[in-house]
Amino acid sequence: MADGELRAMRLRYSDKCRVCSVKLPAGSFAHYDAATRSVSCSSCVSPTAADIHIAPGVAGGSAQREFDRRRAKRVRETREKHPKIGKFLLAIRDDPQSTKAWATGARGEEQVGRALDAISEPGVHVLHDRRIPRSRANIDHIAIAPSGVHVIDAKKYRGRPRLESTGGLFSPRVHTLFVGSRNCTSLVDGVLKQVSLVRAVLERGGYADIPTAGHLCFVDADWPMFGGAFSISDVSVTWPQKLSATLVADGVIDEPTSMAISRHLAATFPSA
């Protein structure tokens, strides 16, 4: 229906849809046609429900497959090397930590995935276990909600998450993320990289004005009864229930726009 390429944008001034004439208040998202210098609401440019097919992915799927692959390799090699006592050795020896970490990671992603999938509010769409193109890495979860696009890294760690700050006044302020005694600051850098990738894809799709946030979601951590969540380098450190509440906060992204963004991100970051 467009005369030219449409670009999603937040309106600085109120306008009306050139197709259905619905009023579009300032601050809402619409699609701008540079050729006609007009705007259209998301409902008039989005595909019909019958045209929409988004593969949400399986939370923790790739991590579980990697665990299964490593375990199967260990079983095969042990039986080949020790044909007579291989079965006995496998029974008394546990998987190495490097293998068990994949199963632990999968369970953490599954827990966060269940919490996200339980959100029933309209306009919330969740993509699980998304592959980053030209990389062996993946993004655990991408949630599209009225409040914006949320990039989520799930971790199943023990201990209390906390923020420690040093320096200041005469030296640079340094913020460090700990979970128990474990320095987890490197995880923040990983989330920031994922957010930058998602933001770049949104910009290419005409969604540069869509708010994009990063989250580290710890399951089974020692969270206090009150408070506990905090931010470090613009990445929120939180838990599943708190994250769900953040996603359903009021925002300006309507359901058609949320669906269109979901389709765009799902096409760029396929299911792993």
Decide: 123 and 253 in contact? Cβ < 8 Å.
yes
| pLDDT for the residue 12 | 77
Rounded to an integer, the average pLDDT of 89-106 is 88
Look at strands 23-24 and 148-156 and give their pairing: unpaired
Residue spans in the chain of domains classed CATH 3.30.60 = 1-45
168: left (phi over 0), alpha (psi -120 to 50) or beta: left
Q: Which pTM value belongs to this model? A: 0.79
User: What mean pLDDT do residues 12-30 have?
Assistant: 75
Written as six digits, the tokens of 181 are: 């005694």
Q: Is the pLDDT of residue 48 over 90?
A: no
- What tokens were used for 113? 């995935």
The CB density around residue 35, as the number of other CB atoms within 10 Å, is: 10
Percent of the chain residues topping a pLDDT of 70: 89
First to last CA, the chain: 34
Residue 141's contacts (CB-CB under 8 Å, 6 or more residues apart) are 59, 109, 112, 113, 116, 126, 127, 128, 129, 150, 151, 152, 154
Q: What CATH architecture does domain 1-45 belong to?
A: 2-Layer Sandwich (3.30)
Per cent of the chain over pLDDT 90 is: 49
Angstrom distance (rounded) from CA 189 to CA 185: 7
**Neighbouring residues of 123: CB distance < 8 A, sequence distance ≥ 6:** 144, 145, 146, 253, 254, 255, 258
Phi, psi for 113 (deg, rounded to 5): -60, -40
Give the span between the Cα atoms of 79 and 73, in whole angstroms: 10
Per-residue confidence (pLDDT) for residue 186, from 0 to 100: 95
Return the beta strands (E) in 21-131 as ranges: 23-24, 29-33, 38-40, 125-131
pLDDT for 134: 87
* pLDDT for position 19: 66
**What is the pLDDT averaged over residues 24-53?**
65
pLDDT at 51 over 60: no
